A and B are shown apart, each in its own frame.
Chain A
Amino acid sequence: MAIDELEKKLRPPEIPLKPYPSKVITLASGEKMVVREARREETGILLGTIYPLIGVSADYYDIVAARMYSEVLAWYRYRVANEFVLVGSIDGVIAGIVNSRHVTNKLGMSLHTLAIKRGLRVGAQLFAAKMEHHIDVLGEEEVYIVAESPIGFKRWMIELQLEDRSSQFPDVRSELGGVPTFVLTRKLWDAVRDVKCTGTRPVPEEDLKSANKLIMPSEYVQIPGFKR
């Protein structure tokens, strides 16, 4: 698409981001989840996957899904700066999606974690992959983290021992709602990486192939009787 002058003004400046090196994790059930970066042309599949959860009020799914939908769409439309999207898929079927922004080469802004497949810690694994990308791959020094779910957030606070910068609000705040924020620093991540983050690289040929074409889930345990 030819980018005219006005469009150029509206598009944010792009920082070239190192790609996320795909990995595969064998979940407790024995199923293999390939974690890889999503491609812009897969946006339709991502949006179609996220969309049904906008109607689920339990466990904060509605607000997380609504916000992630807009963030992914904005990424596609070049209206958000330096966002990345990681997808976890099992035999191609999307199990979870995480997204974040690379604000500067020192700062990351964690956006959302959406787990579609439940009971296998998909959310925890993808969140860890996201932090791995922020700090280990993109080289950021710290990541601002907030959440919609209080229980979910308390888990991160305790398990990661997040640094509390909420007292520096409003000068220090998360872009997500502009709220007081907590921070995962490189030091804190170093202390938990071995316990939180795992995966096999490179991804074996056949697993990579199966994850090449992403598929929207045909059922959601959060939505009994769901039909696409």
Chain B
Amino acid sequence: MAITVGIVGIGHTRFGNSSEYDLADVMAYAATDALEDAGFLERRREIDQVIVGNMASGMFCHQSAVASSLVSRMDMEPVPAELVENGPASGASAIKIGYMAVASGMADVVLVVGGEIMRKVSGWNATDIVATMLHTEAEYNMGLTLPAFGGMFTRLYMEKYGLTERDLALVAVKNHKNGAKNKYAHIQAPCTIEAISDGPEAAVVNNYIAEPLRMYSTCPVSDGAAAVLLVNMDSPKVKDFRKKPVRIAGVASATDTHCVHNRKDPLRLDAVRLAAEKAYKMAGVGPKDISFAELHDAFTILELAISEEVGFFERGTSFLAVRKGETEIDGRLPINTSGGLKSKGHPVGATGVSQAVELVRQLRGEAEEGRQVKNPRYGMSVNFGGFGNNVVALICAKD
């Protein structure tokens, strides 16, 4: 019989500017929070495995082997620890590997920590470092960046489906409204549709980053860490924790072509669709069963496109649902209740774990007032690596 894996502790730093701190310290802070949440801090040396998600500590912080540093920072030797890297999907991949460790029977309790410090380097360097995940010869060398691909994808989507810049701004307003209530969010400040889209000064106040994407359609550069403690729910150890675990119902990933220009269909995100399908199958549910979702809105267009690929809306119609308010906190299908990457922030290695923390907070009923989804049953997250060439989908359930 397959082993059931659940999340029994969560931790999360305030995303933002932690550049004066050491990466391992920031990750240890989130990890300690998760262990305290689980009531397992003093017993941390009993943990069977630590998995760390981080994308580019070597380039951002001139540090490597961060899983090893973290174990020492937590004074948890000799617990085994390894690093998982999957670009901006490192966090969710770390959870997937942690899940596999528990599901394999080799580990009963696994600590998964995702973290990144991006702000020790300048914004231009951060853009460059993130761009290294592109194909060196055919993309990076041309001067292309992730926002450039976001812009090009957005233009195609606009021309085919009639999405407007205002629609993207509506999503930003929604996400900032949610993020303003999230104590962990990088930016806790609502924005108005008049200011960033409709008003006479909006074009300058909300300037272009990679046309047609504007500043309020691209996420900030953030530092931070998040952690989850996984447990074998069939193990007697489950009773040792403070809270009932939130079950991981499904976790899966898929890849797509490295070069964006080689995608079969430039407007499709096949890796998203395939990862979601596998996760749904594993969980025994479909898109209609999902109560809320955290979708990787590094560029606002992705919240929309991903919501379609995972089956929440017909292709090309998600922005119509946004116009009707269906994805608001009190809507039919709340999306990015945490504020999403736009408002919560995007420390690349941390995001996947941060999304899982939000799923658990909502399913436990622990989200802040004004952004708590009513009676959620299933939460889904999609963590997008590269520009869609490596995607992880996660489904959590409240039983």
Q: Which residues of A contact B (CB under 8 A)?
A: 25-30, 119, 121, 125, 128, 151, 154, 194-200
Contacts and interface: CB of A to CB of B under 8 A. Distances in A.
Q: Which of B123, B194, B195, B199 has the most CB of A within 10 A?
A: B195
Contact of A195 (B191, B199, B207): B207
Contact of A28 (B123, B200, B205): B205
Given A28-B195, A28-B196, A30-B195, A196 B190 contact: no
B204 A29 contact: no
Interface string B200-217: 111111111000000010
Contacts of A25: 201, 205
B68 interface: no
Contacts of B187: 119
Q: Which 10 A-B pairs have the closest CB atoms?
A: A30-B192, A198-B204, A198-B201, A28-B191, A26-B195, A26-B199, A28-B195, A30-B195, A25-B201, A28-B196
B262 interface: no
17 contacts: A25-B201, A26-B192, A26-B201, A26-B205, A28-B195, A28-B216, A30-B190, A30-B191, A121-B205, A125-B204, A128-B204, A154-B122, A195-B208, A197-B204, A198-B203, A199-B201, A200-B201
Contacts of B195: 26-30
B201 to A, nearest CB: 4
B189 interface: yes
Contacts of A29: 189-192, 195
A177 B187 CA distance: 36
A199 B200 CA distance: 8
Given A25-B205, A196-B204, 7 more contacts: A28-B195, A28-B205, A29-B191, A30-B192, A30-B194, A121-B205, A197-B204
Interface of B: 122-124, 187, 189-192, 194-196, 199-208, 216
Nearest to B190: A29
B28 to A, nearest CB: 23
Contact of B122 (A119, A151, A198, A199): A151
A198 B196 CA distance: 13
Contacts of B203: 198
Nearest to B187: A119
B374 to A, nearest CB: 28
Contact of A200 (B122, B200, B216): B200
B182 to A, nearest CB: 16
Max count, chain A CB within 10 A of own CB: residue among B123, B124, B194, B205: B205
Contacts of B122: 151, 154
A159 to B, nearest CB: 10
Nearest to A150: B122
A197 B190 CA distance: 23
A6 B189 CA distance: 54
B189 A198 contact: no
A75 to B, nearest CB: 29
A121 B196 CA distance: 13
A200 B203 CA distance: 13
B285 to A, nearest CB: 38
Contacts of B191: 28-30
Contacts of B204: 125, 128, 194-198
Given A119-B189, A200-B200, A27 B194 contact: no
A104 B295 CA distance: 56
Nearest to B123: A151
B53 to A, nearest CB: 28
Contacts of B200: 198, 200
Contacts of B208: 195
Given A119-B187, A198-B201, A28 B194 contact: no
Contacts of B194: 26, 30
Contacts of B207: 195
A198 B206 CA distance: 11
Contacts of A28: 191-192, 195-196, 205-206, 216
B200 to A, nearest CB: 6
Nearest to B124: A154
A60 B389 CA distance: 41
A128 B201 CA distance: 13
A28 B194 CA distance: 8
A194 B191 CA distance: 22
Contact of B205 (A154, A194, A198): A198
A227 B37 CA distance: 35
Contacts of A154: 122, 124
A161 B267 CA distance: 35
A119 B345 CA distance: 14
Nearest to B203: A198
Nearest to A31: B195
Nearest to B201: A198
A117 B51 CA distance: 40
A157 to B, nearest CB: 11
Contacts of B192: 26, 28-30
A154 B206 CA distance: 21
Contacts of B202: 26
B366 to A, nearest CB: 27
A41 B203 CA distance: 35
B130 to A, nearest CB: 18
A151 B190 CA distance: 27
A26 B191 CA distance: 11
Contacts of A125: 204-205
Nearest to A121: B205
A125 B194 CA distance: 17
A174 to B, nearest CB: 23
